[in-house]
Chains A and B, each alone.
Chain A
Amino acid sequence: HRVQGRNRSSGRVPTHCRLKQLLNIFSFLLTVNSDLEPEWLDDVQKNGELFYLELSEGEEEVALTQAHLAELPVANHVRFSDKEAEIIPNNKKHKDGRSSNPQNNGLSTQPTSILKSQTSQRTGLVQQQFKDVNVYVNPKRLRRNRFLEGNSLLETLLGIIYQPSWTKGMGSKGLKPNTEGRVLVHGLVPGSPAIKCGQILIGDVLVAVNDVDVTTENIERVLSCIPGPTQVKLTLETTSFADEEKTYTASNDKQSENVSNLVKLLWGEDTVELQMAIGNIPHIVMYLSLKLDSESPKEEQEILYQYPVAESSRKLRGLRGIFITLSDMLGNVTGGQIISSTVLFDVHLVHVGYWKEGENLLVIGLPAERLEYAFCQMDNFPRLDHLFSMFFQQLIHPAKLNYSASSSSHFYDISSSLFLNSLPAVRYLTLPKEIKAEISTILSDFEASDFGEMGYLIENHLPKEDLLDIALYCQIYCLLPLATEQKIGQLVIWREVFPQRQSSVSEGSFEAYREPKARYFLLIVGLKHYMLCVLLEAGGCASQAIGNPGPDCVYVDQAKATLFQMESLDNSIEERLAAPPTPCLSCADWFIPTVRDRLNSITSSPIFSRWQSISKATSPNSKSSLKNQKASPQKNFGISENVSESQMDNVLFGTSISPHSTPDSIRKLGRRESQGSGGSDGSGGSGSLFKKHPNPFYLGTLKNSLSEKDTEEMYNMMKLTSGSENTLFHYVSMEAVQGIFIAPTHKEVAQLSGSIHPQLIKNFHRCCLSIRSIFQQTMCGKERKLVSCTNTSVRKTSSGFGIVKEHGVLFQCEPENWTDQKKSPPTMTYWVVGRLFLEPVPQEFYVCFHDSVAEFPVELAFRLSFGVAV
């Protein structure tokens, strides 16, 4: 029984074969606490690691209706060879209980075998033909997979199972005449190159390898001649059906559009297809050894690991000599570690990043994109393959992975990903205190650590370093976007981790990893939009872990229970996400005069009217306040431009009297207004505050938890900029100590649609990249100065700017498609400003606001941390 590499290939199997049953089992498991084994149990790997992902019902149905025709056969290939016996009893078992659901049975199509005998009955048209299939093979990987020893190369290298004893039986059935000496495909090894290419069918005959004719006699010899990782052309004789072939390819396309590429990537399947898309862009990862064994010169011996093994990277691989030489030499010449090189390659500008560790060198080549350093142990090549394929896909083709998202938030994702992912922090969702407390209690009950929701970190009970490690893991595996976009049916990940904190204590020596004082295991359980990450400690004060333990059902179930408990909070969290942004944001497009022209001419201020419509849209759950607002906008619209400030205030004031505003708060507003000149601003801000939080619960929180003075401050903070128009466009606030950052939520950004705003956000993030790099230089420079103080021989240099505290850039934009030839297009200008605080705790703020803002309030806003303090 051969089950190798199950962790990835198994993902699709449950989806397409067991589908509904599994979901039923799943709910069954949790509600009735049945004695059934959790479905992920089969997927636990030999070393105890697990990566199990399943989509939720809705997602799967869509995917399946279009794809089951084509996909099922392929999936069944896998099943057929090794697991057929298991599926069918499964089906039966659960159908017994749930036969009342006809849709259920209809979707979970019986594993229609794709054996030729069956399909030929359908079409009845059999033709013998030859086909060429290209597969990637890597003999080097083979040598390291110990448990594969003893099997034939055909099986281990290509993944084709050939059973000499079967040949006779098959031949007697008359399927293949004269099979003597022919290499008949009896089965395919899951996760192997043969099955990945999806074109080799059971029953095909392998005729030639790289145009060399093969028989059962010489096949092993021919395969053993493959020297290194390469592409191999297999020629197969097949019995195929013309029309079936067509439907296969057509529906396969559909399928690939449907199931998000992201999910595919996570399952580790079809990476070839994605790989092709970026195939012409040079990129590579190599792990090179600097210590060369000169006694036994062997080709490419210095490459310990590389990915991908494709045409595009071959040339870059050829350059490894440069990288090794440079890293070796420049350390001596200029001192310090080598960081990066730039190479002009064909037409692409390629940046190469280095990470030198001991005798080894990690080299990552990327087309003029950002450089990042990933860091890995060298124990599992397939896993690294997988990791890097994701890494590249993420960097080079973010759009491809995310296209299922709505256009504006999707755009936000792409533009922000480069910058935000590079922050050593996790997105943090500010939540009303009570919800936070509740979550915190639940987590404490579970003694858990770290809780993520929809790509936002909600509560964290972990030390910072651990948090960053986990976040990096999630990021590399694209888990958070996945949780955001699609409802996860079930996700279970289990693996041993080596937290940075730990390795720094043990000085990173490999000896220490083998016999550590305590071992750490990361368990990630995902359910719908929630993900629970748990870091478990074994050894130390807890009992010692022995061998490679798999995830314990108890833990997983407990985690799931916690997540279910979380669901009760779902509404309140949703509410928070749906609420208008605090502090409020404006859309850049509103500031372009043309927008104003297009609007009703009596509109006094486009921003206000826009704002009203937005808050109307987002507060549908409180009808009474909506009614109130409906009345007031008309008043607002009616204000002509020469209406004095105070009148304006009155209108706003009226608006803000929602049913929830208690007399107390009205009094407060009134008082503020009477404070004089500053009052108008204050009430303007608070007006919008009220509209934003139609939830009475929220106001109650405010009043109860804060003193009156605090409340007033809060009002100020909600709208940071002064003047009657809100001018804040976007912000990111990062705190390095806790390792978190705050930014507007996706929904908040999605509300502010427009043609210019997405561009603005893209520019904002790009600019932040630049600003942050300057801040980083500052920090490095500081450390360096400390070094040079001790090192007297270092000559005093005319070093750069010293400590940079603040950096800003003013952008100017014009509306697109300006058709009026006579007038020059109106322009809108906005600042992107970043500020670095070293005291009391290192914090970084990045804001984007309209140029019209008075300078002093900007200072004030920075002081107040933009009202987004954690």
Chain B
Amino acid sequence: MMFQAGAVQLLCLTASSGVPLFCRGRGACRQLPFSVIGSLNGVHMFGSSQDAQLSSTVTEWGRVLWRVYHESITLIAVSSEEGASELYLERLLENVFSCMVLILGLDDLANIKNVERLKRDLRSCYKLIDSFLEVPNEDVGDLTHCADCLIPQEPTILQECLDGFSQAAESEFGCLLVDGKIVVATEKWWRLAPQEVVLLSFLVRSLGGSSSRDYPVFLPQGSPNVPHRLLCFQLLAGVDVCVLCGPTPSLQKVERELVCRFWSPLIDCLRICVRLKGRCFPGTVSIPQGILGLLLINRDNSRALCSIQGFQESAQSSASFSQERRRELLRQFYTLATTRYFLAEPQGEKHRALTEEFQFGFTHEPVQCYLVTDDCKCFGIQTPQYQCFVLTTDSVPTFALRSLATRTLTALTTQTAF
């Protein structure tokens, strides 16, 4: 066996000639031998020559997914992870291709002129691509395609400040992030495609460490061929503010003249935000006991709130459920509920074709679901505006799950402006 359990490997090749462009992986695996890469690509190419598009293959222990983008780039994901769902791998490939577009632009990828040069250029994407491959994933945005958010204690002050800052920087697109989670963003920023918002959040986090950056980005859906400038400034450790703008103003000018002026008065407010990192919503909102984690998605504006920390709970449960485990359980439950039951808004053509959509077989709409395992319980609710997934300990009786989840949803939606 070439793969150890839990490994994911990502192969990128040119679709026409099958030349490997790059190969990224995580987990305990050495790079696949060239012959295997060749065969994996070969079967897909053979299929397309016969009018059949190979989409995925499942083995007892793993899963392989093929996707071709713009008839020029083939991405293959090979995973031997038990929990790796088709949804995860599909979103992963989508995200990886978007990363490539974000950094290189669609032109270079759709019309490959010089393979060697493209290979070199693609190296600049590795860091961003790796952030999607990381275990554990810091956020859920890569899976949900909804931007991870953090609800601050005083959103209005921050919002006003950000609006003023963006305006001064001659931009309508501005965003304040804590650890890759959006605290506040300008109205225009929210009008970007949800996937772009997620990508930019990941990009800002992967750039972290430097105090300021001027980075050209192509928006995969908004402007795949014309780059914009992403100006990024670190306010505190883990707190970044960024704006998307045209040729002016210069990075130095914004850094020197605007950053301090706008943000230094709010430094305490930002410090409070940093402290909310794991919980993601202010302590004033009280939610029922027994909850280990929750994932709330606003379907109208594609925002997600993933909270796995800071609940009132027993020492035992906090010991047996690490943050990673909680996040993983929520991700899995989300995958289960959305792929099997909850109907999503109809999406693009491509999405429709390549995977079977089990939930469309139901004649009545599934609105809630729950799962009881040997050590925890999950409950999911879908309303026209929200999806709410709650993870609890097994001490919560099953019949109480529903009211607990409903109360949580009400508390969060009424007491915050989420």
Contact yes or no, A336 B53, CB < 8 A: no
User: At the interface, yes or no: A256 with Cβ under 8 Å from chain B?
Assistant: no
Contact yes or no, B362 A766, CB < 8 A: yes
Contact yes or no, A808 B369, CB < 8 A: yes
Q: Of A315, A321, A332, A770, which contacts B43 at CB under 8 A? A: A321
Stretch at the interface among A196-204, A341-349, A568-576: A341-349
Contact yes or no, B50 A318, CB < 8 A: yes
B59, B341, B371: most-surrounded residue (chain A CB, <10 A):
B59
Number of A interface residues at 8 Å Cβ cutoff, please give it. 66
Q: Contacts A319-B47, A322-B47, A810-B368: A801 and B362 contacting too (C-beta < 8 A)?
A: no
User: At the interface, yes or no: B36 with Cβ under 8 Å from chain A?
Assistant: yes
Contact with A along B41-73 (1 / 0, CB 8 A): 011001100111111111111111000000000
User: At the interface, yes or no: B373 with Cβ under 8 Å from chain A?
Assistant: yes
Smallest beta-carbon distance B341→chain A, Å: 6
User: At the interface, yes or no: B1 with Cβ under 8 Å from chain A?
Assistant: yes
Q: Report how far A344 CA is from B54 CA in the complex, Å.
A: 6
Q: Report how far A335 CA is from B80 CA in the complex, Å.
A: 8
Q: Report how far A801 CA is from B370 CA in the complex, Å.
A: 12
Q: Of A344, A801, A803, which contacts B354 at CB under 8 A? A: A344
Q: Which residues of A contact B362 (CB under 8 A)?
A: 763, 766-767, 811
Contact yes or no, A794 B52, CB < 8 A: no
Q: List 17 A-B contacts (CB under 8 A).
A: A319-B52, A322-B54, A325-B39, A335-B60, A338-B58, A345-B53, A762-B363, A763-B364, A795-B5, A797-B5, A803-B374, A804-B372, A806-B398, A810-B366, A811-B367, A829-B367, A855-B400
Q: Which residues of A contact B366 (CB under 8 A)?
A: 767, 809-812
Contact yes or no, A794 B2, CB < 8 A: no
Q: Of A336, A760, A767, A812, which contacts B61 at CB under 8 A? A: A336
Contact with B along A776-809 (1 / 0, CB 8 A): 0000010010001000011101111111111111
Contact yes or no, B370 A802, CB < 8 A: no
Contact yes or no, A798 B3, CB < 8 A: no
Q: Which residues of B contact A801 (CB under 8 A)?
A: 329, 332-333, 371, 373, 376, 378
User: At the interface, yes or no: A333 with Cβ under 8 Å from chain B?
Assistant: yes
User: At the interface, yes or no: B103 with Cβ under 8 Å from chain A?
Assistant: no
Number of B interface residues at 8 Å Cβ cutoff, please give it. 74
State which residues 514-535 of A face B: CB under 8 Å: none
Smallest beta-carbon distance A758→chain B, Å: 9
Contact yes or no, B82 A800, CB < 8 A: yes
User: At the interface, yes or no: B81 with Cβ under 8 Å from chain A?
Assistant: yes
User: At the interface, yes or no: A330 with Cβ under 8 Å from chain B?
Assistant: yes
User: At the interface, yes or no: B315 with Cβ under 8 Å from chain A?
Assistant: no
Contact yes or no, A809 B47, CB < 8 A: no
User: At the interface, yes or no: A30 with Cβ under 8 Å from chain B?
Assistant: no
Contact yes or no, B54 A341, CB < 8 A: yes
Contact with A along B313-350 (1 / 0, CB 8 A): 00000000000110011001100100011000000000
Q: Contacts A333-B2, A333-B36: A368 and B61 contacting too (C-beta < 8 A)?
A: no
Contact yes or no, A794 B354, CB < 8 A: no
Q: Report how far A333 CA is from B60 CA in the complex, Å.
A: 12
Q: Which residues of A contact B61 (CB under 8 A)?
A: 334-336
Q: Of B46, B62, B136, B361, which contacts A333 at CB under 8 A? A: B62
Q: Which residues of B contact A250 (CB under 8 A)?
A: none
Q: Which residues of A contact B46 (CB under 8 A)?
A: 319, 321-322
Q: Which residues of A contact B6 (CB under 8 A)?
A: 795, 797-798
Contact yes or no, B4 A333, CB < 8 A: no
Contact yes or no, A809 B54, CB < 8 A: no
Contact yes or no, A759 B364, CB < 8 A: yes
User: At the interface, yes or no: B262 with Cβ under 8 Å from chain A?
Assistant: no
Q: Which residues of A contact B354 (CB under 8 A)?
A: 342, 344, 349
Smallest beta-carbon distance A604→chain B, Å: 28
Q: Which residues of A contact B79 (CB under 8 A)?
A: 334
Contact yes or no, A315 B51, CB < 8 A: yes
Contact yes or no, A339 B58, CB < 8 A: yes
Q: Contacts A333-B3, A781-B82, A801-B329: A341 and B58 contacting too (C-beta < 8 A)?
A: yes
Q: Which residues of B contact A321 (CB under 8 A)?
A: 43, 46
Contact yes or no, B59 A806, CB < 8 A: no
Contact yes or no, A807 B43, CB < 8 A: no
Q: In terms of DSSP, what is the predominant structure of the interface of chain B?
A: mixed
Contact with A along B187-226 (1 / 0, CB 8 A): 0000000000000000000000000000000000000000
Q: Report how far A207 CA is from B42 CA in the complex, Å.
A: 46
Q: Which residues of A contact B13 (CB under 8 A)?
A: none
Contact yes or no, A812 B59, CB < 8 A: no
User: At the interface, yes or no: A375 with Cβ under 8 Å from chain B?
Assistant: no
User: At the interface, yes or no: B355 with Cβ under 8 Å from chain A?
Assistant: yes
Q: Report how far A781 CA is from B83 CA in the complex, Å.
A: 11
Contact yes or no, A325 B364, CB < 8 A: no
Contact yes or no, A333 B32, CB < 8 A: yes
Q: Report how far A802 CA is from B374 CA in the complex, Å.
A: 7
Smallest beta-carbon distance A286→chain B, Å: 15
User: At the interface, yes or no: B116 with Cβ under 8 Å from chain A?
Assistant: no
Contact yes or no, B399 A858, CB < 8 A: yes
Q: Contacts A339-B58, A342-B356: A813 and B5 contacting too (C-beta < 8 A)?
A: no
Question: Which residues of B are at the interface with A, using a C-beta cutoff of 8 A?
Answer: 1-6, 27-28, 32, 36, 39-40, 42-43, 46-47, 50-64, 78-83, 135-136, 324-325, 328-329, 332-333, 336, 340-341, 353-356, 358, 361-376, 378, 398-400, 402
Q: Told that A344-B55, A859-B399 touch, could you supply 11 new A-B pairs with CB distance under 8 A? A: A322-B54, A330-B62, A342-B57, A344-B353, A797-B81, A798-B83, A800-B332, A804-B371, A810-B368, A810-B369, A855-B400
Q: Contacts A334-B78, A368-B356: A813 and B365 contacting too (C-beta < 8 A)?
A: yes
User: At the interface, yes or no: A337 with Cβ under 8 Å from chain B?
Assistant: yes
Q: Contacts A759-B364, A797-B5: A337 and B59 contacting too (C-beta < 8 A)?
A: yes
Contact yes or no, B57 A788, CB < 8 A: no
Contact yes or no, B364 A334, CB < 8 A: no
Contact yes or no, B364 A804, CB < 8 A: no
Q: Report how far A770 CA is from B361 CA in the complex, Å.
A: 12
Smallest beta-carbon distance A773→chain B, Å: 9
Contact yes or no, A806 B371, CB < 8 A: yes
Q: Of B358, B373, B375, B398, which contacts A855 at CB under 8 A? A: B398
User: At the interface, yes or no: A331 with Cβ under 8 Å from chain B?
Assistant: yes
Q: Report how far A322 CA is from B370 CA in the complex, Å.
A: 39
Q: Which residues of B contact A599 (CB under 8 A)?
A: none
User: At the interface, yes or no: A774 with Cβ under 8 Å from chain B?
Assistant: yes
User: At the interface, yes or no: A8 with Cβ under 8 Å from chain B?
Assistant: no
User: At the interface, yes or no: A351 with Cβ under 8 Å from chain B?
Assistant: yes
User: At the interface, yes or no: A326 with Cβ under 8 Å from chain B?
Assistant: yes
Q: Which residues of B contact A315 (CB under 8 A)?
A: 50-52
Nearest residue (CB) in B for A336 is B60
Q: Report how far A315 CA is from B53 CA in the complex, Å.
A: 12
B52, B340, B367, B402: most-surrounded residue (chain A CB, <10 A):
B52
Contact yes or no, A339 B364, CB < 8 A: no
Q: Contacts A333-B62, A340-B57, A807-B371: A798 and B325 contacting too (C-beta < 8 A)?
A: yes
Q: Report how far A858 CA is from B56 CA in the complex, Å.
A: 40
Contact yes or no, B135 A798, CB < 8 A: yes
Q: Which residues of B contact A617 (CB under 8 A)?
A: none
Contact with B along A749-774 (1 / 0, CB 8 A): 00000000001101100110010001
Nearest residue (CB) in A for B62 is A334
Smallest beta-carbon distance B169→chain A, Å: 42
Q: Which residues of A contact B52 (CB under 8 A)?
A: 315-316, 319, 343-345, 350
Q: Which residues of A contact B60 (CB under 8 A)?
A: 335-339
Smallest beta-carbon distance A335→chain B, Å: 4
Q: Which residues of A contact B324 (CB under 8 A)?
A: 798
Nearest residue (CB) in A for B328 is A798
Q: Which residues of B contact A340 (CB under 8 A)?
A: 57-58
Would you list the 7 A-B pairs with minimal beta carbon distance, nearest first?
Answer: A855-B399, A336-B60, A334-B62, A810-B368, A336-B61, A813-B364, A806-B372
Q: Report how far A315 CA is from B27 CA in the complex, Å.
A: 38
User: At the interface, yes or no: A329 with Cβ under 8 Å from chain B?
Assistant: yes
Q: Report how far A174 CA is from B279 CA in the complex, Å.
A: 99
Nearest residue (CB) in B for A351 is B356
B2, B135, B398: most-surrounded residue (chain A CB, <10 A):
B398
Contact yes or no, B369 A344, CB < 8 A: no
